[in-house]
Structure 1
Amino acid sequence: MANTIDSSLMLSNYQSQSRKTGSDILGKDDFLKILMTQLQNQDPMNPMQDKDFIAQMATFSSLEQMTNMNKTMEKFLMFQEQNQLMSYNQFLGKNVTWHKLTETSDSNQTPNIEEGNGRIVSIQFKDNRAVFILEDGTKLEPANISQVNES
């Protein structure tokens, strides 16, 4: 049996989750408003200690850095996904050997493995996933390809 990589583990299957914004999520603007309100309404006879102010500013700085890092990671993953999809174009015209599990299984409940060879004539991109189409119409995911040969 050939080793295959489950296509659900591929980077191209990563879908960034949309971030919900609402009253239950505090951002950096909300944090600054809270800090300013706290400073404006503090007791003049017992003002905020320097260490408390520094701790809150450090928290704000950390929040801003994490927000920036999150945006950078989202951009990186988007570019990585685009690069991977573009690299699949190199498969066009190549002969490949492939293995694919079929829906049926034998009497021992062992899944049947369909094998074959063919030339890739087309690549479709659906839902951020690549689907290779062979001359005979067989559709394969990248994880099904076990060997790439020159045509």
Structure 2
Amino acid sequence: MTKISEDLMLSNHQAKTKETGSNILGKDDFLKILITQLQNQDPTSPMQDREFIAQMASFSSLEQMTNMNQTMQQFLTFQTEASLLQQSELIGKNVTYEIETVDAEGEKKIEEKEGVVKSVLFEKGSVMLEMSDGTKITSFQVIKITDPKK
């Protein structure tokens, strides 16, 4: 007696498809849908030229947006790397920076502090300056830079 594999059962196949599928339609998916639509159109009422041109224009726009998104991601990565290198010039420099503190009454106030930049690091998506006392600040908090040798 031959036993049917459970892998061939419809319910198991659908579950596997859902696990590996993606909810995001890309340009390849759009092109597949368009080709399937063309193959299965009613021969007595074919797709109008205007509809086809509109769908091709949509496909072209989707491809351009995808390419632009990839270019922007590369640009942002480059900018982050450039910022890290640029901020590394502050290592060993004496900086004055503003930091927000909360006093005993719970009121926020901005204090000026001073310290030497020990290192520059990339943390949580931004470039941070680590001070010699361990405090981490952003370059936006820096209000004055001096050379400690002078």
> TM tier, shorter chain?
0.7 to 0.9
Residue 137 of structure 2 aligns with which residue? 141
Change (3 A) 1:106 1:28: same
Counterpart of 2:119, as a letter, is S
Equivalent pair of 1:92/1:120 in contact (CA under 8 Å): yes
Residue 119 of structure 1 aligns with which residue? 116
Please state if 1:71 is matched with 2:70.
Answer: yes
Residue 105 of structure 1 aligns with which residue? 103
**Structure 1 unaligned residues grouped into runs of 5+:** 1-20
Report runs of 4+ in structure 1 exceeding 2 Å deviation: 21-24, 109-135
In structure 1, how many angstroms separate the alpha carbons of the residues matched to 2:29 and 2:85? 41
TM-score, with structure 2 as normaliser? 0.73
Equivalent pair of 1:131/1:139 in contact (CA under 8 Å): no
Higher relative contact order, chain-length normalized (CA < 8 Å, sep 6+): 1
Equivalent pair of 2:84/2:121 in contact (CA under 8 Å): no
Q: Which is higher, the Rg of structure 1 or of structure 2?
A: 2
In structure 1, how many angstroms separate the alpha carbons of the residues matched to 2:121 and 2:25? 41
Which deviations, in whole Å up to 9, do the C-alpha atoms of 1:62-89 show, x marking residues without a partner?
0100011111111111111111111111
Residue 8 of structure 1 aligns with which residue? none
Equivalent pair of 2:117/2:130 in contact (CA under 8 Å): yes
Change (3 A) 1:59 1:134: closer
Say which SS state the counterpart of residue 37 (structure 1) adopts: helix
Q: Which structure is higher in helix share?
A: 2
TM-score, with structure 1 as normaliser? 0.72
Equivalent pair of 1:100/1:144 in contact (CA under 8 Å): yes
**How many residues end up aligned between the 2 structures?**
128
Change (3 A) 1:106 1:34: same
Change (3 A) 1:49 1:150: same
Equivalent pair of 1:106/1:112 in contact (CA under 8 Å): no
